[in-house]
Structure 1
């Protein structure tokens, strides 16, 4: 049977790809972001958030603080890369979210698995931004990058999920002119190059109403993925990875700690009852982490790192997190 031998979670923010000297550019872009949610799930303007913060983020916005946080994140990413190598998986299943790279609202599955034997990344075209140029390279989206899939295992997982009463979308290709996005390109680039093993992208609709899976459904999905892997007759070592999160584009440390403490303490009920009104915009990617927590249920956390990065007076930024399960 196939076996999940390693589980991990990683943020994939462009702040992990572009150096701190460019973060102010991203902070300026935040001023025009219409999806800035406060810690109660209410959309607020940048200026409103900044007024409410009343200067409390000043110490977190110095270049010295940014450089320190950058180094902590890069150290954690390096450590995850070593864990991937030590686990020696035959295939990696990445649970990420599509952000209109493949799907549109004309066809928006709640969840889908790719069974293509070969896939490519899409292109990130905003070349007027130095910040996004750096991000595009680390996302493997500055040019088309081709990576291998594993069609037979993907089919086994899809059949197994159906047996576990999880209705799953099925893909053997991508719409013309599209490619996989940063949720997949970043971990391939950071953990698997130069010779990546096959990757199975699993798409979870975290962002877009009305068919976002609930936290409880995500945890059930993770359990079902583990069962489906065990039911496969293939003799394969599988690594599973949550890509994205934690809270952004407004950092919410209380929410993040709730999630990470529940993962550490194997507290499934807390993960299953995270209020959906808090899982908006980038914070919605916490669903990917809940899914992998379900797949790794009962396993200990080997280590974790949490680095909340604030890049503006409004508290915008991204809470970086990295977890490695035994």
Structure 2
């Protein structure tokens, strides 16, 4: 039987890989995303977070993120898994308006990361695109297609009607939730992947936290029933709160993770998972699949980057 030997959780925001002098550039995207709300929030909370916006504080936080990424790299190298099951979200990269499944798996033999030319990117992303995407030649990601197919089939018996995809449409690239894992968490090794897609962003079929946790539990049962001696790592990619940092929400999620408390994780208010904060669902799936392991490392970095409290609750964890 296959064995789940490691769990990883990692934020994948461009801020994670951005030197601190790049952080102000991300604020321009925040203003576009939030619109008039940006100024409203600035009036309400700017005076309470001034200490978070000092250059020396940003530099310490940037260094903390790089140290955390190094810890995750070391954990993957030490465990030396045969397969990575990566739980992530698609932000209209592979799945467009023609189909946005609540849960999906890809079971072709490979996925492609298409070049993202620098001139087409927002200025804040150009210095950090290396952490997300190729910029010149197509990058190929091997898929453990036999396990992916098995998971799709068996999840049906578990009560989850999982969508399947076997063909990558022309012009559509593998999303950054998955490419980040290869480019930053295992840059020196090409481990086959099983991509598990969760609809973290798009209504009306965004799954509930409870459904995500139960999906993760079923995912573990299926993987462990696979007739193979392969060693598997499960990775939750994304989160926590952003583009508006919500430390209270992040603290709640982290308490649920550390205490292995499904009641907390399953009952997180759905309205708190708006926009990019919906990526917390990837962590909840991972937590359900990893409830037999314990978190022995967790780093949280409150990445405030503007007087409006925008940024990312950058979080990194290891289950063993």
TM-score between the two structures when normalised by the length of structure 1: 0.94
Aligned twin of 2:159: 165
Q: Say which is worse superposed, 133-142 or 297-306, in terms of deviation.
A: 133-142
- Please say which of residues 49-58 and 204-213 is displaced more in the overlay: 49-58
- Once the two structures are TM-superposed, the CA of residue 140 in structure 1 deviates from its matched residue by 2.4
Aligned equivalents of 1:58, 1:250: Cα separation in 2: 16
CA contact (8 A) 2:84 2:191 kept: yes
SS in 2 for 1:209: coil
Task: Give the conservation status (yes or no) of the 8 Å contact 2:18–2:62.
Answer: no
Could you list the per-position Cα deviations for residues 234-282 of structure 1 after superposition, in whole angstroms to 9, with x for gaps in the alignment? Answer: 2210100000000000000000000001110011011000000000111
Q: CA deviation at 1:59?
A: 1.2
SS at match of 2:33: coil
Q: Does 1:305 align with 2:296?
A: no
2:105 corresponds to 1:113: yes
Residue 148 of structure 2: which of 136, 144, 154 is its match? 154
Q: Report how far residue 195 of structure 1 moved.
A: 2.6
Paired residues of 2:17 and 2:66 also in contact (CA < 8 A): no
Structure 2 counterparts to residues 86-235 of structure 1, below 5 A: 86-125=78-117, 127=119, 129-143=122-136, 144-235=138-229
TM-score by length of 2: 0.96
Structure 1, unpaired ranges of 5+ = 36-43
C-alpha deviation, 1:123, in angstroms: 3.9
Tell me if the contact between 2:116 and 2:133 (Cα under 8 Å) persists in the aligned partners. Answer: no
2:76 to 65, 79, 84: 84
3-state SS in 2 of match to 1:249: strand
CA displacement, residues 61-109 of structure 1 (integer Å, 9 cap, x when unaligned): 1111110000001001000100001111001011000000011122111
Paired residues of 2:299 and 2:315 also in contact (CA < 8 A): yes
**Can you give the 5+ residue segments of structure 2 that lack an aligned partner in the other structure?**
none
Q: Would you say the 8 A contact 1:133–1:142 is kept in 2? A: no
Which region of structure 1 is more displaced relative to structure 2, 256-265 or 11-20?
11-20
State the aligned residue count.
318
- On the 8 A contact 1:121/1:145 being kept in 2, the answer is yes
Is residue 141–residue 182 contact of structure 1 (8 Å, CA) maintained in 2?
Answer: no
Note the aligned Cα RMSD (angstroms): 1.3
2:26 alignment counterpart? 26
8 Å CA contact 1:141, 1:185 repeated in 2:
no
The equivalent residue for 2:311 is 317
